[in-house]
Structure 1
Amino acid sequence: MTTFVLVSGGYTGGWIWRDVAAGLRAAGAEAHPVTLTGTGERRHLGGPGTDLETHIEDLTQVLDHLDAPDVVLVGYCYGIYPAVGAADRRPGRVARLVYLDSPMPQDGYSMLDQVRERMPEGATRERVLTQARHAEDGWRIPAPTREEWREWGNLAGVTPQALDRIVRLASPQPLGPLDQKLRLTGAAADLPVTGVFCTEGGSMDIATLEALVASGMPLVQRLAAPANGFFDIATGHWPMISTPDELTDVLLRSAAGEGHRLTAPATSGTR
């Protein structure tokens, strides 16, 4: 039986996985949606000391308390940062790491570091950084309003009723987890990886990644390893809400080792 641990992104909680978790269980898998400290129904447990290590520990405890030896760990959006951190601390408990419409966290960088250094100049970048600078009480970022979700949330495929639910359940986001640098030992560097790209309004898809690999860009070369697979989903940034059946199928196929394979650039040497 495959066991999935589903890690939410910012402002949300385990509630976003309701339909996907039900689909995975109906297919015979175990599904464990996780709400990180200070978000969702655990928002009251957050505080000025809530940081990335707090969220990594949340996931480490989940992995330690599951009977399953091999977990498919799914990190969505910001949730990939604690997911990568937990995999680094418990590599023997994780069979595959799934990057669901998420960045690629790097050792020594916080999420905000990567926004500052790698996100193109523009309104989205400035909004993220401005919100972080004006966090309430110096430690929490208010949840977006309905208008902000519509403007910034990449809601392609999300119905008005589903948006009502997002607005109702969204929680403030602790700043510490976004601002603390990720520290990795490299223990999980060789774990199989699946990347899932949401292509409506997104900046990345399989074709773009293939071009980056072919260019020789060092950051992405390891993604061409034979065990790694990739999927495109034609929806916005909320596939667990907009296309839950398709995402469920993609996650099951990921666990089975399926997905598009990348080709590493040819190398030449001298004799």
Structure 2
Amino acid sequence: MTAFVLVSGGHTGGWIWRDVTARLRSAGAEVHAVTLTGLGDRRHLAGPGTDLETHIEDVAQAIDHVDAPEVVLVGYCYGIYPSVGAADRRLDRISRLVHLDSPMPQDGYSMLDQIREQMPHGEARERMLGMRERAEDGWLIPAPTPEEWRAHGNLAGVSPEALARLARLASPMPIGPCEQQLAVSDAVTALPATGVFCTTGGTMDIATLEGLVASGLPLVQHLADPRASFFELATGHWPMLSTPGELADVLLRAAAGEGHRLAPTTAAHHGGQ
């Protein structure tokens, strides 16, 4: 049996995977949707000391409670950071790590570090870097209002009903997990991986990534490994709300090792010579 552990992003919780979970289970999969400490229906557990380590342990514990021997671990948006951290601690349990419209965490960087160094200048970048200034009591970022979701959430394809549910159930987010740096080992980087790009309003797609690999950029060369695969979804940043059936199908295909493969650079073919 294929087993999935689904890790959502900021301000949300396991509830956001409802429709995807139903479809995966109908296909015979075991599914665990994680709600990180301080989010969703665990918002009352948030505190100034809630950090990335807290969320890594949340995901590691979820993996420990999976019956199947191996897990497809899916990290969405911010959720990829605790997913990568937990994968490093449960390497023998992870059959594939799926990056769902998420960054590629780098060793020694926090989420905000990567935004500061890598995100193009603009309103979205400045808003994310202003988290601490917006935080209540210096540590708790308020949940976005419906107007803020519409303005900044890349909600392409999300129905008014789904947006209303998102706004109603969204929780504040502790800032600690966004600021704590993550250690990324070579062992995690070597795991079979899948990237899923949401291309409507997004900044990355398969063609762009292929160009980066062809350019020789060292950071992405490992993505040309034949065990790495890629998919695109023609929707906005919330595929579990806008296209849950298509997302479930992509996750099942990823678990089966399907997906687009990148061609290695000429230098890689010749050992870097």
Fold-level match, TM-score > 0.5?
A: yes
Q: Specify the SS of the correspondent of 2:181.
A: coil
Note the alpha carbon deviations across 1:126-183, whole angstroms, 9 max, x for none: 0011123331111110000111000000000001111000000000011000000002
Written as runs of structure 1 = structure 2, the 5 A alignment for 1:17-56 is 17-56=17-56
Q: Which runs of 5+ in 2 are unaligned?
A: none
8 A Cα contact 2:98 2:195, kept in partner: yes
Written as runs of structure 1 = structure 2, the 5 A alignment for 1:206-221 is 206-221=206-221
Distance 1:144 1:48 in 2: 20
Q: Which runs of 5+ in 1 are unaligned?
A: none
Note the alpha carbon deviations across 1:77-129, whole angstroms, 9 max, x for none: 00000000000111001100000000000110000000111111111000011
Instruction: Give the 4+ runs in structure 1 shifted more than 6 A.
Output: none
Note the alpha carbon deviations across 1:33-79, whole angstroms, 9 max, x for none: 00000000000001000000000000111112222111000000000
Q: What is the identity, as a one-letter code, of the residue corresponding to 1:159?
A: S
Q: 1:219 to 1:270 in 2, by over 3 A?
A: closer
In structure 2, what is the equivalent of residue 143 of structure 1? Answer: 143
Q: What is the identity, as a one-letter code, of the residue corresponding to 2:46?
A: G
Q: Specify the SS of the correspondent of 1:178.
A: helix
Written as runs of structure 1 = structure 2, the 5 A alignment for 1:18-167 is 18-167=18-167
8 A Cα contact 2:134 2:142, kept in partner: no
Distance 2:163 2:272 in 1: 59
Which segment drifts farther, 190-199 or 133-142? 133-142
Q: What is the identity, as a one-letter code, of the residue corresponding to 1:249?
A: D
TM-score by length of structure 1 reads: 0.98
Which segment drifts farther, 182-191 or 45-54? 182-191
8 A Cα contact 2:105 2:184, kept in partner: no
Q: 1:161 to 1:90 in 2, by over 3 A?
A: same
Q: What is the identity, as a one-letter code, of the residue corresponding to 1:54?
A: T
8 A Cα contact 1:88 1:186, kept in partner: no
Q: Specify the SS of the correspondent of 1:187.
A: helix
TM-score by length of structure 2 reads: 0.97
CA deviation after TM superposition for structure 1 residue 24, in Å: 0.2
Which segment drifts farther, 254-263 or 124-133? 124-133
Distance 1:214 1:26 in 2: 40
Root-mean-square deviation over aligned CA pairs? 1.3
Written as runs of structure 1 = structure 2, the 5 A alignment for 1:200-211 is 200-211=200-211
Written as runs of structure 1 = structure 2, the 5 A alignment for 1:241-260 is 241-260=241-260
In structure 2, what is the equivalent of residue 184 of structure 1? Answer: 184
8 A Cα contact 1:89 1:187, kept in partner: no
Q: 1:45 to 1:26 in 2, by over 3 A?
A: same
Distance 1:270 1:112 in 2: 32
In structure 2, what is the equivalent of residue 227 of structure 1? Answer: 227
Distance 2:147 2:107 in 1: 35
Distance 1:50 1:269 in 2: 44
Q: Specify the SS of the correspondent of 2:32.
A: strand
Q: Specify the SS of the correspondent of 1:188.
A: helix
Once the two structures are aligned, what percentage of the paired residues are identical? 71
CA deviation after TM superposition for structure 1 residue 270, in Å: 10
Q: 1:206 to 1:185 in 2, by over 3 A?
A: closer
